[in-house]
Amino acid sequence: MPDWGAHLSEMRQRAPLVHNITNYVAMNVMANVLLAAGASPAMVHAVEEAAEFTPLAGALTINIGTPSGPWVAAMEASAQAAQAAGLPWVLDPVAVGATAFRREIGARLLALGPAAIRGNASEILALSGAAAQGKGADSADPVAAAEEAARALACSTGAVVAVTGPVDYVTDGARGWRVANGHPAMPRVTALGCSLTGLVGAFLAGAEDRATATVAALAYFGLAGERAGETAAGPGSFQVALLDALATITPDALTAGARVQAA
């Protein structure tokens, strides 16, 4: 198995600027998660400047949680700018199967070559064109039900696909991993999944192996959740403890604590 902690060490050494076009709900939480991890967040979504800003960053993340026409235009322009600059960008297809508008956005963004896609099982199924049972941004499908769709999506797009849930599944089409790190309190705090997408972007910035970098990001976030759960009394203190854990987990601790298996 790779040295998962090496990815964390390299990310912190790079301290990448991550350009995030994310939703209203997630901005503050996501920015704090990236700062705690050792990256530098930028929330730039205005269509008048987003694409110009993108090449200044080490990675781009796009989240369709609260879409509107101008935001979608900024997303597409920034994804094109990332492609032109050779920068990795991550797609978070929030509730992509819920409405025709979201399905159209998902298809248009997918055509712009994301380096990675992170979503729950229902989102990955819907993005791949398969039937899904999502409830808004929440998954009603188990991770295992989306593994085949994830592999097909990875093969057809060239992206690393991460299906997140109680046990995450990551694939680049040829290789696969399951990541068992995490805590039951994590779904009870809003925007943690969106924040994880930002972390994936931070780990991808400058990474040679984007698949193992994605796995390391998921294991790191899940391990932080486990540590937070040891002291938290509820969702409020859990969020604070999670930020502290992200800041204090060392590369060696990640390598020792990552519960990753080849799939």
The architecture of the domain spanning 4-262 is 3-Layer(aba) Sandwich (3.40)
Averaged pLDDT for residues 232-255: 98
The predicted-structure confidence for 14-24, as pLDDT tens digits, reads as follows: 999 999 999 99
The predicted-structure confidence for 45-62, as pLDDT tens digits, reads as follows: 999 999 999 999 999 999
Q: Which of these, 125, 74, 115, lies nearest to 91 by C-alpha position?
A: 115
Q: How far is CA 229 from the centre of its chain?
A: 21
Is 256 labelled as part of a ligand binding site? no
Domain locations along the chain: 4-262
* Residue scoring higher pLDDT (158 or 141): 158
Output the pLDDT for position 92: 98
Q: Please identify which residue in the block is written with the tokens 């399951």.
A: 178
The predicted-structure confidence for 144-165, as pLDDT tens digits, reads as follows: 999 999 999 999 999 999 999 9
* 89 bridge partner residues: 60
Averaged pLDDT for residues 108-128: 96
Is 118 labelled as part of a ligand binding site? yes
Residue 173 has which token pair? Answer: 């089409």
2: confidence class by pLDDT, cuts 50, 70, 90 = confident
Is 30 labelled as part of a ligand binding site? no
Output the pLDDT for position 140: 65
Is 43 labelled as part of a ligand binding site? yes
Output the pLDDT for position 141: 84
Output the pLDDT for position 154: 97
Output the pLDDT for position 134: 47
* Residue scoring higher pLDDT (140 or 2): 2
What's the count of helices (H) and strands (E) in the chain, helices before strands? 11, 9
